[in-house]
Amino acid sequence: MRATGLSSRLSASLEILARLGYGARGFVYLSVGSLALLTALQNRGAPSGSTGAIAAISQWPLGRFWMVAMAVGLTCFSVWRALQSLLDADRQGGSRKALLARAGQAISAMVYGTLAWSTFRLLPLLRQVSPPEEEASAHAGAAHLLAWPYGGWLLIGVGLFVSGGGVANVVRAVHGDVGDRLVCGPATHLWASWLGRVGYLGRGVAFLPLGFFLCQAGSTLDAHDARSLGGALQWLQDQLPGGWILAFTALGLIAFGVYGFIEAWLRRIDVDVAKHRTQRAHP
């Protein structure tokens, strides 16, 4: 009985952790998209990436509170992604498609864990991070990877993975059942799914140039060819006068951020620790 009670409390705690994580991810994308949309509408300045968007939050009233909440939420999401990947918390199974999804979730855990760490690191500063600083950070990360044996190939592999994630987001926006894990009525499911489609499309469009520039840096062995998310959005801004591509991508990122809040509230999160242990013991 005591073990069952502990498992129930652990399952409830993991569900709260996951929901906090989805909400934090949604807030990050909402911030990035909003800042990018303002840049596109004003047709001046450079878009900020995720770190710059979080740093911009520090300028709000109670900025330190929001940054701490964001850092904790991103840490929660990183842990949840790790559980999805390593322990199959979402019950995806062992098929090839599921294993690829879980590999992507492992990378996601590292990405959001790094973003959470960066947010904690910014806390004592409470200052704005400029686009040049974001680009310098991207160059430093690429240079670090290039210093490894076969670093160029590793960086190309990272770029291909990011580009593949962009393609997967676009494909899911067009063909996938975006709201398959939402627990809600038909009317809510319909508009939430469409919002999610717009969001996945916007995120996919943003990831494609990001992956391309990473591949380019790996092939030329020049870390300066790499770009941050803000740099990728800047490239989109430069493609057409008036920044229309950036504006549409920004609206997609905003939609993805709002969809993150919907997932935090309505997503089915099946974290039954006792059931999971039984399934592992009796496959």
| 268, pLDDT greater than 70 | yes
Angle at which helix 186-220 crosses helix 151-175, to 10 degrees, equals 160
How large is the average pLDDT for residues 153-174? 91
Question: Are 45 and 132 within 8 A, CB to CB?
Answer: no
Question: Are 40 and 34 within 8 A, CB to CB?
Answer: no
Of 145-149, 163-167, 277-281, give the lowest mean pLDDT range: 277-281
Which residue, 203, 204, 231, is CA-closest to 216? 231
Question: Are 228 and 137 within 8 A, CB to CB?
Answer: yes
pLDDT of residue 205: 92
pLDDT digits (tens, 9 = 90+) for 193-232: 999 999 999 999 999 999 999 999 999 998 889 888 888 8
Question: Are 5 and 21 within 8 A, CB to CB?
Answer: no
Q: Using CA atoms, how far apart are residues 89 and 102, in angstroms rounded to an integer?
A: 10
Three-state secondary-structure class, residue 267: strand
Domain boundaries, the chain: 2-281
Backbone angles phi, psi at 267, to 5 degrees: -65, 140
- pTM assigned to the model: 0.83
Q: Using CA atoms, how far apart are residues 225 and 217, in angstroms rounded to an integer?
A: 5
| Residue type present at position 205 | V
How large is the average pLDDT for residues 42-64? 68
Q: Binning pLDDT at 50, 70 and 90, where does residue 82 land?
A: confident
Three-state secondary-structure class, residue 132: helix
Q: Across the chain, what does the average pLDDT equal? A: 81
Tokens of 125: 């500063």
